[in-house]
Structure 1
Amino acid sequence: MYVDNQGAAPTGTAGGWQVDPDQVRDFAEAVSQVRQHLDAIRTEVGELASPSYAPMLGTSPVGQELAEKFTDRMGSETGLRGQLDVALKRMEEFVESAEKTAASYQEMDSDSAAGYRYS
């Protein structure tokens, strides 16, 4: 996500590192693809947790309890669907933070460049 300028500082910079906007855009695209895949998985898990996909393990108490356990593990807040929701929420928070940071860098670059322009 950054360009390392430790060896030779480009003209007009003091060295260190800088953000490459193309890499930020590529990263945002990759995150978008991951989000789409997780949404697809969440949809499939939602379908598996529905009553129409309940496992048919017989009418014995053991079979019924196993079926209930499967459904609970798929669709409850602590089950797979709940964990996917937590993962998606954390990813959204991370993406928002990355977008704000990228915008901040671009704003600082624009402000710095404006200070060097002649009217």
Structure 2
Amino acid sequence: MGQQPWIVMEGQMGTSIRLDCRSEGWYPEPPILWVNGDGVNMMAQQETTYQPDDQGLFIVSSSIEISKHSLNKYTCLINNVILKESREAHIQIAAKKKKATEAKKKKATEEVTDPNVMIALN
């Protein structure tokens, strides 16, 4: 049975984000499945590579690209077909706190434009 997989966010490319799921120590080459938080299979979008290590086991890497505006949970499932067991990793894409930042900016502007606030410049 291979090691626990992990997901790495590779960064933005235009309007998308690349997620990469990696694990080591698999035999034979395991099928890998990506699903989103709604349970939708992302297989059509994935790219998977298998690389043999020095012990004859496989290092696996599977990537998907998602919209940078995606607010969802993604799961990478790696299955050992002989043992009929799987391991999985999860990542949650969170929204930026845009409204909170805008509210802070607005409050700061109001404080500066308040006639009761004095600013001394030397």
Using structure 1 for the length normalisation, give the TM-score: 0.31
Which structure dedicates a bigger proportion of its chain to helix? 1
Higher Cα radius of gyration: 1
Select the structure with the greater relative contact order (CA < 8 A; seq sep ≥ 6).
2
Using structure 2 for the length normalisation, give the TM-score: 0.30
